[in-house]
């Protein structure tokens, strides 16, 4: 069996489905052509043999003469010669006078009697001849002689064997031509469809032979429909690659970032057990600080993983940056991180709408605020502004910010441990950068007269009505 027509697990291939549809259409078309051919054959046979009947009837009618006031018919041989063209059919003829009396021919009754009608044209009708279906014609010849006036009627009939045989032959010929044409069309359709589906087969083969861990983009060659599908698969693999990359980064971050804090906590705990009571309180305080630092680190790592996941899966929606800033401010997380710090909110009356994910924006804003609380100088302000089609949510502290050579590395992975030694912002701003990249935004860091500002800038959406 053709391997292209049967798929694995008993499922039909696309080629078999299309060919099945084409075959069904050809079958329906063949049936319709057969019916039409049979109807045409019957009509053609009827017209042909009706002409023969009419010719024979006219020959007989022309042979009628009036002799001594009575019509006499001398049946010509040509009339029977015409009827003999249908050698297997029975024939009937009868010549009758004005009152229906038989002048010559068969005396049997016919199904219709035209002798009392005003017959001006030949009349055809169907009846039976010795129990067999037959076709009849009636022709009237009128006389206006001195010794005879009236119409003489000629009846000629013939069974339908030759007619049916002719109709069947015409139908067979049409069916034969249709069958040959249908087979040719089916073969041509198979070749055309096979050629059209060749790019799909190549794509299927490439996918089946592709390494499961290979997420590199595929080459988009072929017709437009295949190119669209390949582009969609490439986008899916790109998203999957980002998800796998985020998972790898999370595992790498976990291994890299947690090793030192966990070792330090273990060392402090062991020292607290061994120390005398006078130093135990100091060791426990260090242990608590290490635990808090580890908790913060874990929170940032999980937040970063969650943000990367949402930016790849959550569809963007209209978000008012004022709502994000207000939510972060009202959550009061800063009162836990830095109870002594003064935090202010600065938002206007005009909506600043961007297309993004509100939860991801909230996480980014929280991390900007937490970064300012840990490394900046009070007072700290979280605010929103818009300028030239760009919406910004920013956090500003009163300090001078990190050194210029450190600003370029802020937000990179593995900088959290450096922050504990100096000036890095750690994973917090890495989350901000991830959100910016996901929604076509940018992270800006700059000093001004009031201090050091970190802002997340996103394209504003003017299609949403301001509220």
Rounded Cα distance, 467 and 455, in Å: 23
Can you give the pLDDT at residue 425? 40
Contacts for 240 with CB less than 8 Å, ≥ 6 apart: 215
253 & 360 share domain: no
Read off the CATH number of the domain in which 381 is found.
3.30.565.10
pLDDT tens, residue order, the chain (467 aa): 344 444 545 567 777 888 888 888 888 988 998 898 889 888 988 898 888 889 888 998 898 888 888 888 888 888 878 778 777 888 888 888 888 788 888 877 665 666 555 677 888 888 888 888 989 999 988 888 888 888 888 999 888 898 888 888 888 888 898 889 889 988 988 888 888 888 888 888 888 888 877 888 888 777 888 888 888 888 888 888 877 777 777 677 666 666 667 777 777 777 777 666 667 777 777 778 778 777 777 777 777 777 777 777 778 889 999 999 999 999 887 777 788 888 999 998 899 999 988 888 998 898 889 888 888 888 999 999 998 889 999 999 988 888 777 676 665 554 543 444 443 345 667 888 888 888 889 999 988 888 999 999 999 876 654 44
304 & 331 share domain: no
Rounded Cα distance, 451 and 364, in Å: 20
Instruction: Say how many domains are in the chain.
Output: 3
77 & 163 share domain: yes
Read off the pLDDT of residues 394-453 as tens digits, 9 standing for 90 and up: 999 988 888 777 676 665 554 543 444 443 345 667 888 888 888 889 999 988 888 999
Q: Which domain holds residue 461?
A: 316-467
Instruction: From 313, 332, 365, give the residue that closes a domain.
Output: 313
26 & 88 share domain: yes
pTM for the model stands at 0.51
Instruction: From 257, 287, 313, give the residue that closes a domain.
Output: 313
The alpha carbon torsion through 280, 282, 284, 285 (nearest 10 deg) reads: 170
306 & 341 share domain: no
111 & 131 share domain: yes
User: Would residue 140 count as lying in a domain?
Assistant: yes
CB 294 within 8 A of CB 261: yes
Question: Which of 38, 36, 27 shows the shortest CA–CA distance to 183?
Answer: 27
Residue-by-residue DSSP string for 370-401: HHHHHHS-SSEEEEEEEETTEEEEEEEESS--
CB 406 within 8 A of CB 426: no
Residue-by-residue DSSP string for 234-273: HHHHHHHHHHHHHHHHHHHHHHHHHHHHHHHHHHHHHHHH
User: Would residue 202 count as lying in a domain?
Assistant: no
Rounded Cα distance, 458 and 393, in Å: 9
415 & 320 share domain: yes
Residue-by-residue DSSP string for 352-366: -EEEE-HHHHHHHHH
437 & 354 share domain: yes
119 & 142 share domain: yes
Tokens describing residue 233: 């698969």
346 & 464 share domain: yes
User: Would residue 205 count as lying in a domain?
Assistant: no
User: Would residue 418 count as lying in a domain?
Assistant: yes
Read off the pLDDT of residues 66-88 as tens digits, 9 standing for 90 and up: 888 888 888 888 887 877 877 78
Question: Which of 238, 198, 201 shows the shortest CA–CA distance to 218?
Answer: 238
User: Would residue 74 count as lying in a domain?
Assistant: yes
183 & 226 share domain: no
User: Would residue 276 count as lying in a domain?
Assistant: yes
Read off the pLDDT of residues 293-317 as tens digits, 9 standing for 90 and up: 777 777 777 777 777 777 777 788 8
Can you give the pLDDT at residue 409? 64
Can you give the pLDDT at residue 426? 56
309 & 326 share domain: no
**Cα Rg for the chain, rounded, in angstroms?**
50
Tokens describing residue 115: 């002798």
Beta strands in 49-173 (DSSP E): 64-67, 70-73, 91-96, 102-105, 123-129, 132-144, 149-159
Rounded Cα distance, 436 and 241, in Å: 19
Rounded Cα distance, 386 and 384, in Å: 7
Can you give the pLDDT at residue 115? 58
User: Would residue 191 count as lying in a domain?
Assistant: yes
Which residues are bridge partners to 344 per DSSP?
A: 381
Question: In the predicted model, what is the mean pLDDT of the chain?
Answer: 81
User: Would residue 295 count as lying in a domain?
Assistant: yes
Helix axes 14-62, 161-196, angle to 10 degrees: 160
Instruction: From 180, 196, 212, give the residue that closes a domain.
Output: 196
Read off the CATH number of the domain in which 273 is found.
1.10.287
β-pairing verdict for 390-397 and 64-67 = unpaired
């Amino acid at each position: 069996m053709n391997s292209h027509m049967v798929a694995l697990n008993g499922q039909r291939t696309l080629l078999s489905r299309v060919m099945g549809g084409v075959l069904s259409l050809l079958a329906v078309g063949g049936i319709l052509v057969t019916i039409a051919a049979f109807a045409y054959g019957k009509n053609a046979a009827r017209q042909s043999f009706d002409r023969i009947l009419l010719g024979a009837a006219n020959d007989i009618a022309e042979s009628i003469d009036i002799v001594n006031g009575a019509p006499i018919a001398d049946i010509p041989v040509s009339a029977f010669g015409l009827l003999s063209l249908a050698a297997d059919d029975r024939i009937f003829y009868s010549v009758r006078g004005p009152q229906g009396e038989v002048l010559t021919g068969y005396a049997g009754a016919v199904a219709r009697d035209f002798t009392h009608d005003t017959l001006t044209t030949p009349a055809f009708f169907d009846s039976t001849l010795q129990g067999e279906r037959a076709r009849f014609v009636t022709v009237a010849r009128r006389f206006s002689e001195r010794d005879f006036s009236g119409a003489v009627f000629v009846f000629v009939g013939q069974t339908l064997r030759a007619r049916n045989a002719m109709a069947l032959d015409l139908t067979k010929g049409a069916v034969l031509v249709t069958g040959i044409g249908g087979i040719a069309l089916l073969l041509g359709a198979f070749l055309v469809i096979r050629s059209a589906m060749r790019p799909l087969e190549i794509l299927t083969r490439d996918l089946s032979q592709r390494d499961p861990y290979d997420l590199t983009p595929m080459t988009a060659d072929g017709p437009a429909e295949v190119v669209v599908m390949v582009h969609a698969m490439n986008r899916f693999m790109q998203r999957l690659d980002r998800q796998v990359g985020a998972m790898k980064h999370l595992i790498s971050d976990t291994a890299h970032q947690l090793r030192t804090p966990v070792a330090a906590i273990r060392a402090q705990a062991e020292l607290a057990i061994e120390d005398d009571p006078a130093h135990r309180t100091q060791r426990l305080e260090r242990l608590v600080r290490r635990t808090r630092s580890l908790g913060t680190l874990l929170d940032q790592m999980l937040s970063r993983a969650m943000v990367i996941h949402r930016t790849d899966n959550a569809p963007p929606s209209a978000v008012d940056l004022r709502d994000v800033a207000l939510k972060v401010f009202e959550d009061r997380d800063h009162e836990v991180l830095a109870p002594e710090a003064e935090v202010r909110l600065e938002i206007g009356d005009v909506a600043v709408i961007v297309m993004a994910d509100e939860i991801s924006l909230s996480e980014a804003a929280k991390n900007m605020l937490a970064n300012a609380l840990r490394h900046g100088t009070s007072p700290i302000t979280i605010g929103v502004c818009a300028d030239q089609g760009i919406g910004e949510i920013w956090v500003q502290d009163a300090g001078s910010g990190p050194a210029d050579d450190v600003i370029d590395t802020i937000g990179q992975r593995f900088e959290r441990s450096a922050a504990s030694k100096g000036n890095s912002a750690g994973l917090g701003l890495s989350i901000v950068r991830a959100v910016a990249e996901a929604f076509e935004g940018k992270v800006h860091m700059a000093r001004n007269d009031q201090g050091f500002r970190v802002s997340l800038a996103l394209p504003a959406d003017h299609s949403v009505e301001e509220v």
